[in-house]
């Protein structure tokens, strides 16, 4: 999926969501626990600010980018004071390849149904890190109750679950423990803490559990 395709997809996601503020995800606490006051952080995929704003309000030195115009417009409408920290576009376009950050935060983004694409994206993200930097990630796990309507389900050799939704052309991948570890290793990163599974209730119908992996990883090369 190209950045343009992904942007359109997330535009649709944000356009059908209620505009009310949702509770932040557990990745927020994980980042607050590890980040140091003097560190500069990048959040990739800030959306409407669900997790990004709590990190700013916690006093962290953090900037972010988002490929959905709908998402970032909603964020800036609510919090125009963060306009100098929130940017529209992909992280490659906005920040280039400079090793400028001490930490990169990703939550439910960068993971493509083609996991070789995901590895390439992670390698690009890790190039933004200064020596000794970290990646904090929260990704959907294979233990999630899938959203109904899928027409095909496949397990790959690493037990990642791939679902196809033919009506809207969407393909999703939910990562196994092994799949998540090897995905990071394939991008020349090593797990430093985690993988920790967290279960979150899906508040929208038809309900169910959304299981995520949370991990802190560091570059190995």
Whether 45 and 106 have beta carbons less than 8 Å apart is answered as yes
Give the pLDDT score at 204: 81
Long-range contacts for 6-14 (Cβ within 8 Å, ≥24 apart)? 6/67, 7/67, 7/68, 7/69, 9/170, 10/47, 10/66, 10/67, 10/68, 10/70, 10/71, 11/68, 11/69, 11/70, 11/71, 13/68, 14/47, 14/48, 14/68, 14/70, 14/71, 14/74
Give the pLDDT score at 19: 59
| Domains and their CATH numbers in the chain | 3-219 (3.40.50.150)
Give the pLDDT score at 5: 63
| pLDDT per residue as tens digits for the range 3-47 | 656 667 666 677 766 656 689 999 999 999 999 989 999 999 999
| pLDDT per residue as tens digits for the range 59-103 | 999 999 999 999 999 999 999 999 999 999 999 889 876 668 999
Phi, psi of 209, deg, nearest 5: -115, 135
Rounded mean pLDDT, 150-161: 95
- Taking all residues of the chain, what is their mean pLDDT, rounded to a whole number? 90
* pLDDT-above-70 percentage for the chain: 90
Q: Which helix (H) or strand (E) holds 182?
A: helix 177-186
Give the pLDDT score at 10: 64
Q: Read off the pLDDT band of 170 (50, 70, 90).
A: confident
Q: Which residue has the higher pLDDT, 166 or 65?
A: 65
Q: Which helix (H) or strand (E) holds 76?
A: helix 69-78
Give the pLDDT score at 15: 73
Give the pLDDT score at 139: 97
Tell me the residue ranges of DSSP E strands in 79-208.
86-88, 101-107, 129-140, 152-155, 161-165, 170-174, 189-201
């Amino acid at each position: 999926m190209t950045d343009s395709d992904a942007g359109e997809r997330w535009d649709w996601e944000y356009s059908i969501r209620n505009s009310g503020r949702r509770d932040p995800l557990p990745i927020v606490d994980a980042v607050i626990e590890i980040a140091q006051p003097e560190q500069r952080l990048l959040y990739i995929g800030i959306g409407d600010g669900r997790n990004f704003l709590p990190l700013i309000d916690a006093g962290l030195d953090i900037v972010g980018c988002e490929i959905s115009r709908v998402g970032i417009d909603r964020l800036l409408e609510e919090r125009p004071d963060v306009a100098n920290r929130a940017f529209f576009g992909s992280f490659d376009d906005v920040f280039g390849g400079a090793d400028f950050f001490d930490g990169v935060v990703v939550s439910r983004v960068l993971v493509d149904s083609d996991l070789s694409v995901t590895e390439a994206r992670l390698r690009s993200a890790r190039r933004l890190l200064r020596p000794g930097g970290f990646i904090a990630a929260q990704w959907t796990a294979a233990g999630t109750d899938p959203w109904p309507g899928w027409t095909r389900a496949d397990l790959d050799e690493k037990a990642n679950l791939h679902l196809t939704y033919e009506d809207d052309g969407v393909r999703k991948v939910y990562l196994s423990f092994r799949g998540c570890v090897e995905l990071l290793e394939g991008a020349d990163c090593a797990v430093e803490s985690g993988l920790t599974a967290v279960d979150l209730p899906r508040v929208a119908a038809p309900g169910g559990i959304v299981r995520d992996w949370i991990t802190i990883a560091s570059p190995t090369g």
